[in-house]
Homo-oligomer: A and B are copies of this chain.
């Protein structure tokens, strides 16, 4: 049957990509359907119970700035919060939270169930409805047909999923869940480039069988950070301790003794795994000289004894898993509750996507999350947000939107994927962003809230908080630049105590704040002023202290932006450009970038090559213009 209501957007899959996609489209007022295998697994964390980390928390805060759920759910479910790289510059600073799995799922489900314009339906999507090459709906496993203007597919690791433990394997979407085989078969009939990737997870351990007393303790930070711009420490549940232990030479020996039965080394697994989240057998193999690797022992939640031993993801046979685990300090008597495993699944070449995450080959169909070759909840959530909002824009007959690389990690992520494709699961790092001093986790709200508001993604509460912060910053900027400290005054004496040499002449506070030795609160205290709200203070301080670098990056962006967006004609023949190496010509021909900016990001395409291209284009356009 045809379902009586027509939707603006249908999202397939209730993982991290799917929930952000569905929430975003619905927030924009578009009638949205979220179709998922099992309402009980909405927002389920397939692997480690943690959100954030370097590069990743940047994405979480961008999702948050656009009104998404991930950061707020983390604040409600986080049982340990830490700021990573706290001593380094603000560009690479990142927040990471351990989450209680059950609380996290509950927070996500609560958000979904209470979102106006959003409808949930539990059932597998088995097919797409295609009319004149356009995707216009979805068919469920019981033959129910849902129609919509746009469809977002976020099937995660479920498409043709195969689970491996040693030489044994069976079909599954993740442990305990069925795979999506009907849909995978159908998608393979369509003109998408499909390949296989793999990812893995460690065995879980019963905490009652672990000796924590021989492990290092790791507590969360104090004061406790929050993840969302609207988060409060009071939202957090009880905070707990984590532990650290290590593999040793015996562990590595045991692991090596299982290499002949490793599905990865034996070639049973064809998919490539995540380079930056390698399995423990990978680490032992790649770094034969390392005698020890860290294992972070993370609780799976407040009300369970299950532990996640972060660092020993594996698909070795179970006997090796058990022996290896029990060779680790503190794990001598460990009981494994769930075996580690690897999963292989279908993903689609993201080079077949537009920046909006719409597929090039099938208008109306968007792809987001793990199926685009990424790994991680945050990468999935970010893509879900983008695909969801663009699907909603399509339903509203509006132009798509994607942030630029200098506006958001979201922009970097999508641009990387569609420009370069990926041969291994892609994860975010701060090093992937050229303008990372501008794309900080502390200013994601300043970068994106306004756009989010315009798109209809940002509610009044968030909008008010954003405006308060903006106004506070403007007010403070004025106040600090209008407040002068003159040598010889009592204020100057106080400030002289903070610096090497006494102030030689009068300065305003903004200039003083730029000095590394002078901290905002000391400065404000010295002149007897009341401090602004903490979010304002944070910005004032960063903007002052890093003003030089920030200005330089902004200037560079301005310079490049013109060229960046300069388009390359669809029929452009790179062979014609003189001076380019054959290798570069080949790469350009393969990717066929739409713009100079894209061209520049193809690995191996050097700045010199870009210059040659620009020169050629100038001539060429000139000629084209004359001919016209």
The chain B residue sitting closest to A300, CB to CB, is B39
The chain B residue sitting closest to A113, CB to CB, is B305
Contact of A143 among B39, B168, B176 (CB under 8 A): B168
Contact of A176 among B38, B110, B172, B337 (CB under 8 A): B38
Contact of A318 among B41, B142, B168, B304 (CB under 8 A): B142
The chain B residue sitting closest to A110, CB to CB, is B303
Chain A contacts with B in 95-152, Cβ cutoff 8 A: 102, 106, 109-110, 113-114, 119-123, 141-144
The chain B residue sitting closest to A175, CB to CB, is B122
Closest 9 CB pairs of A and B: A38-B176, A1-B319, A122-B338, A142-B168, A142-B165, A178-B178, A120-B337, A113-B305, A143-B168
Whether A38 contacts B175 by the Cβ 8 Å rule is yes
Whether B178 contacts A142 by the Cβ 8 Å rule is no
Nearest CB on B from A125, distance (A): 13
Whether B337 contacts A121 by the Cβ 8 Å rule is yes
Assess whether A336 is interfacial by the CB under 8 Å rule: yes
Bound Cα distance from A335 to B4, whole angstroms: 11
Bound Cα distance from A114 to B178, whole angstroms: 29
Q: Chain B contacts of A41 at CB under 8 A?
A: 40, 176
Nearest CB on B from A41, distance (A): 7
Chain A contacts with B in 501-519, Cβ cutoff 8 A: none
The chain B residue sitting closest to A5, CB to CB, is B335
Assess whether A202 is interfacial by the CB under 8 Å rule: no
Assess whether A166 is interfacial by the CB under 8 Å rule: yes
Bound Cα distance from A381 to B1, whole angstroms: 39
Task: Report how many copies the assembly holds.
Answer: 2
Whether B206 contacts A119 by the Cβ 8 Å rule is yes
Whether A304 contacts B142 by the Cβ 8 Å rule is no
Can you report 7 A-B residue pairs in the complex whose CB atoms are below 8 A from each other? A109-B303, A119-B206, A122-B204, A122-B339, A143-B166, A144-B318, A172-B178
Bound Cα distance from A168 to B140, whole angstroms: 11
Contact of A168 among B141, B166, B170, B319 (CB under 8 A): B141
Nearest CB on B from A121, distance (A): 6
Residue of A38, A114, A178 ringed by the most chain B CB atoms within 10 A: A178
Bound Cα distance from A1 to B323, whole angstroms: 12
Assess whether A568 is interfacial by the CB under 8 Å rule: no
With A113-B305, A168-B141, A168-B142 known to touch, is A121 a contact of B336 (CB < 8 Å)? yes
Assess whether A306 is interfacial by the CB under 8 Å rule: yes
Assess whether A322 is interfacial by the CB under 8 Å rule: yes
Taken residue by residue from 203 to 246, chain A's Cβ proximity to chain B (1 for < 8 Å, 0 otherwise) reads as 01010100000000000000000000000000000000000000
Whether B206 contacts A337 by the Cβ 8 Å rule is no
Assess whether A317 is interfacial by the CB under 8 Å rule: yes
Q: Chain B contacts of A110 at CB under 8 A?
A: 303
Whether B170 contacts A39 by the Cβ 8 Å rule is no
